[in-house]
Amino acid sequence: MKFSDYNISSEIKEQLKVLGYNKPTDIQFKAINHILNGEDVMAIAQTGTGKTAAFAIPTLNVLQKKSKYNTGIRCLVMVPTRELAKQIAKVYQDIGKKTGVKVFGLYGGVDQEQQISTLNNGVDVLVCTPGRMFDLISQGAIDISGIKFLVLDEADLMLDLGFAKDIKDVMHHIPQKRQTLFFSATISKKIKSLAYDVVRNAIRIQISPKNPVAKTITHTIMDVEMDDKRFFLENIIKENEEQKMIVFVRTQVRVERVVAAMERVAISSEGLHGGIEQKDRFAILDRFAKGENKVLITTDVACRGIDIPMVEAVINYDIPDNPENYVHRCGRTGRGKHRGQALSFCSESEKELVLAIEEYTGDEIDRFDLDKGDYLEILGGSDDGSNNWQKLIDQENKFKDLDKEW
């Protein structure tokens, strides 16, 4: 089935063609018609499967047909992070470009006055984070009492970030007669409990292969000691200079240290973490998306839902504490029909974390075998003058030659 076969407007079909959307992904194929038919949907699908378009296409189609009496916000999309709010709003804007539907991404970290001005000019689709939304509801700047669609995206992360009460509180502001679309990358008892609080007689859709890491991603692990990781990262970047890659580390401080380590060896990179101002975070992501910077070093602030085109590789510089985040990190590459690679550096102290990931995914991760000679060659080939491994190796060989002479 192709998008041209769906019962959606010609304007949306034309724009999908422009955007290169020809055939629906599995989640889109299973969700779109149910949403068009007015049913509630509870969908569980791994990252990178096209979830956003699965709800954006049908909701835009319905909203495009609104009458002159349907004023105000008609579709509320709640998401856990500012980056996701901006990204999903853009997907709506891109797909709905020819429909006349007004879309706005609302989140904290930016000036309220301009946001209120935009809202006053009329918005059909509001994509928002809970905090800023409730701020403006309390100020009387937002009215969601007439919405037709409530969309909860990345619901599992919303729970992890403590938004369960916010999700339940929003029910007091919206009509009982509505259509609810609930999307999550993972399923748990808490997720099921939340879903059943907000959806009614929902169609349940689950796209979850045995191994949650997408088949388009080749993921491997390499044993690297903690203090040696920067040399291996340098080696990989310099051998793949044209590739766009995301490097995940554990903390904000480590982001800054790895960026500085790469700068010492003449590698240009940018760091991203929650301690950076919101406008600067958006600018960093924009530069990375455009290819102006090819190496993004980040915490897990970028591991969920961020859709950057043509990321060829993900490097897990540090193994994540949460096995789910391993799946989401890897999912930043190999998106859609594209293939990608994910390589993890594992120190001795992180091996227990790898075992937890393998238990979670239900599959053993391939190991990249590296003999001692190749390992030392990578260390010795570094341009970082702080650790002249080649000199140490030469000295060791010299001592071996002296031993033979004696």
Q: Which 3-state string (H, E, C) describes 24-58?
A: CCHHHHHHHHHHHCCCCEEEEECCCCCHHHHHHHH
Residues 297 and 106: their CA atoms lie apart, in Å, by 26
186 & 248 share domain: no
Residues 238 and 148: their CA atoms lie apart, in Å, by 51
The 10s digit of each residue's pLDDT in 232-289 is 999 999 999 999 999 999 999 999 999 999 999 999 999 999 899 888 998 999 999 9
**Number of neighbouring beta carbons within 10 Å of residue 240:** 14
Phi and psi for 264 in degrees, rounded to 5? -65, -25
Residues 158 and 359: their CA atoms lie apart, in Å, by 24
**Number of neighbouring beta carbons within 10 Å of residue 373:** 8
| Residue (of 300, 358, 350, 357) closest to 329 by Cα position | 300
Residue 122 within any structural domain of the chain: yes
Contacts of 380 (CB under 8 A, 6+ apart): 389, 390, 393
93 & 187 share domain: yes
CATH number at residue 338: 3.40.50.300
Query: If you count DSSP H runs as helices and E runs as strands, how many of each does the chain have, helices first?
Result: 16, 14
The CA–CA distances, whole Å, from 363 to 47, 236, 260 equal 18, 26, 35
The 10s digit of each residue's pLDDT in 64-93 is 987 555 678 999 999 998 889 999 999 999
Q: What mean pLDDT value characterizes the chain?
A: 88
Q: Is 406 a residue whose pLDDT tops 50?
A: no
183 & 267 share domain: no
Give bridge partners of residue 248 from the DSSP assignment: 298, 316
Residue 404 within any structural domain of the chain: no
Q: Can you spell out the DSSP letters for 146-204?
A: T-SEEEE-SHHHHHHTT-HHHHHHHTTTS-SS-EEEEEESS--HHHHHHHHHH-SSPEE
pLDDT for 196 equals: 85
pLDDT for 383 equals: 81
Give rounded-to-5 percent helix, strand, coil for the chain.
45, 15, 40
Residue 103 within any structural domain of the chain: yes
The CA–CA distances, whole Å, from 292 to 3, 143, 193, 295 equal 33, 40, 44, 9
- Last residue of some domain: 182, 207, 232? 207
pLDDT for 363 equals: 86
| Residue (of 71, 34, 48, 130) closest to 339 by Cα position | 48
195 & 226 share domain: no
Residue 386 within any structural domain of the chain: no
Residue 405 within any structural domain of the chain: no
254 & 292 share domain: yes
196 & 262 share domain: no
169 & 293 share domain: no
Q: C-alpha angle 264/285/127, rounded to 5°?
A: 155
Q: Is 400 a residue whose pLDDT tops 60?
A: no
pLDDT for 387 equals: 52
171 & 288 share domain: no
193 & 227 share domain: no
Residues 102 and 107: their CA atoms lie apart, in Å, by 17
233 & 168 share domain: no
Q: Looking at residues 185-212, what average pLDDT do you find?
A: 82
- Last residue of some domain: 180, 207, 234? 207
- Last residue of some domain: 185, 207, 229? 207
**Number of neighbouring beta carbons within 10 Å of residue 104:** 20
199 & 243 share domain: no
**Number of neighbouring beta carbons within 10 Å of residue 174:** 19
The 10s digit of each residue's pLDDT in 95-135 is 999 999 999 999 988 889 999 999 999 999 999 999 999 99
Residue 394 within any structural domain of the chain: no
138 & 253 share domain: no
Residue 378 within any structural domain of the chain: no
Tell me the two tokens of residue 195: 């879903």
| Residue (of 362, 32, 15) closest to 181 by Cα position | 32
* Domain count across the chain: 2
Per-residue buried b or exposed e for 266-296, using 16+ beta carbons within 10 Å of the residue's own CB:
ebebbbbbeebeeeebbebbeebbeeebbbb
Residues 376 and 80: their CA atoms lie apart, in Å, by 44
Residue 336 within any structural domain of the chain: yes
Which residue range(s) make up the domain with 191?
3-207
Tell me the two tokens of residue 379: 């260390």
Q: Is 162 a residue whose pLDDT tops 70?
A: yes
Q: How many CA atoms lie within 13 A of 83 on its CB side?
A: 23
83, amino acid identity: E
Residues 69 and 67: their CA atoms lie apart, in Å, by 5
